[in-house]
């Protein structure tokens, strides 16, 4: 490939970076709070709630993300056509416009959020359970109520403890966004594959790899910085 071709290829990839970033950002935005809620539900003393949450986590972690994306994506059109679909559900599904431009992104995002919330929840649960019982007892003896204890005493300590495991998960997400390519979502992988065929060259794939690599490395540095910042106490 000529240097002009490479330069225009780079330009093209840069133009397709925002969809990748959008999927990455929105997944984190929803999956992290949802993961915290799922973690608390799994630790819930009401057994059925804990079991159901555990079943959800088992399914999300036990099946491929790609399969989940495909299931979520096609669930709406297939259920709409199914004669067995309950009327109540059909009413809701009919409101979903599968022709609209945002439909694809929303469905992919739902699959990513559900999957990543399950992984985050296990990280958060581990973090919460690693806080010594004495912290709760000290807070209780000082008159803090449950909400104050969680948000002022427990959560800040959990954040520090879950940063290393979470950063691992977040870096995996950078690369997992490429799975959206399978649904025709126009992110970096999608354009790389297309340009590969167009030029009959591996350079576009190599370049896509560099994009992911740079992004992941940037995050690695960022998390190393955050970890260092949070090292003011042990």
CA distances from 159 to 12, 118, 155, 156, 163 (A): 38, 17, 6, 5, 6
CB atoms within 10 A of CB 105: 18
**Piece of 111-119, 148-156, 165-173, 189-197 that binds another protein (CB under 8 A):** 148-156
Instruction: Rank residues 81 and 233 by Cβ distance to another protein and give the closer one.
Output: 233
What lies within 8 Å, CB to CB, of 103 at 6+ separation is: 96, 97
Query: Quick one: which of 67, 71, 98, 138 contacts another protein (CB under 8 A)?
Result: 138
233 touches another protein by CB under 8 A: yes
Q: Candidates 7-15, 92-100, 129-137, 167-175 — which segment interacts with another protein by CB under 8 A?
A: 129-137
Distance CA 201, CA 9 (A): 12
Give buried/exposed letters for 56-77 (b at 16+ CB in 10 A, else e).
bbeebeeeebeebbbebbeebe
Positions 156 through 175 that interact with another protein (CB under 8 A): 156-157, 160
Does 18 participate in binding another protein (rule CB under 8 A)? no
Q: Report which of 7, 17, 6 is spatially closest to residue 190, judged by C-alpha positions.
A: 17
228 binds another protein (CB under 8 A): no
Instruction: Please tell me what DSSP assigns to residue 118.
Output: H
Looking at the Cβ atoms of 38 and 153, the one nearer to another protein is: 153
Q: Considering the rule CB under 8 A, would residue 142 count as an interface residue with another protein?
A: yes
- Give me the least distance between CB of 163 and another protein, in Å please: 13
**Contact flag: residue 148 with another protein (CB under 8 A):** yes
Smallest gap from residue 225 Cβ to another protein (A)? 18
Cα 198 to chain centroid, rounded: 32
117 near another protein, rule: CB under 8 A: no
Residue 81 vs 141, nearer CB to another protein: 141
Contact between 77 and 103 under an 8 Å Cβ cutoff? The reply is no
| CB count in 10 Å sphere of residue 22 | 15
Find the part of the chain contacting another protein (CB under 8 A) among 91-99, 110-118, 128-136, 202-210: 128-136
Question: How far apart (Å, rounded) are the C-alpha atoms in residues 208 and 196?
Answer: 11
**Choice between 79 and 131, CB closer to another protein:** 131
Nearer to another protein, 109 or 153 (CB): 153
Residue 150 as a binder of another protein (CB under 8 A): the answer is no
Provide the binding-site residues for another protein, judged by CB under 8 A: 132, 134-135, 137-145, 148, 152-153, 156-157, 160, 232-234
């Amino acid at each position: 490939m000529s240097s002009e071709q490479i330069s225009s290829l780079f330009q093209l990839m840069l133009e397709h970076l925002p969809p990748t970033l959008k999927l990455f950002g929105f997944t984190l935005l929803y999956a992290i709070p949802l993961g915290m809620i799922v973690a608390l539900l799994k630790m819930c003393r009401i057994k059925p709630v804990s079991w159901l949450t555990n079943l959800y986590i088992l399914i999300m972690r036990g099946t491929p993300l790609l399969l989940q994306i495909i299931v979520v994506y096609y669930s709406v059109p297939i259920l709409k056509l199914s004669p067995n679909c309950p009327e109540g559900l059909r009413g809701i599904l009919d409101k979903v416009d599968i022709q609209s431009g945002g439909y694809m992104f929303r469905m992919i995002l739902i699959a990513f959020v559900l999957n990543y919330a399950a992984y985050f929840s296990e990280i958060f649960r581990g973090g919460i359970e690693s806080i010594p019982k004495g912290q709760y007892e000290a807070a209780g003896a000082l008159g803090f109520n449950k909400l104050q204890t969680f948000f002022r005493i427990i959560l800040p300590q959990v954040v520090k403890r879950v940063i290393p495991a979470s950063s691992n998960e977040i870096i995996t997400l950078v690369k997992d966004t490429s799975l959206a390519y399978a649904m025709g979502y126009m992110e970096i992988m999608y354009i790389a594959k297309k340009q590969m065929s167009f030029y009959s060259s591996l350079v576009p794939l190599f370049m896509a790899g560099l994009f992911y690599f740079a992004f992941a490395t940037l995050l690695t540095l960022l998390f190393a910085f955050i970890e260092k910042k949070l090292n003011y106490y042990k």
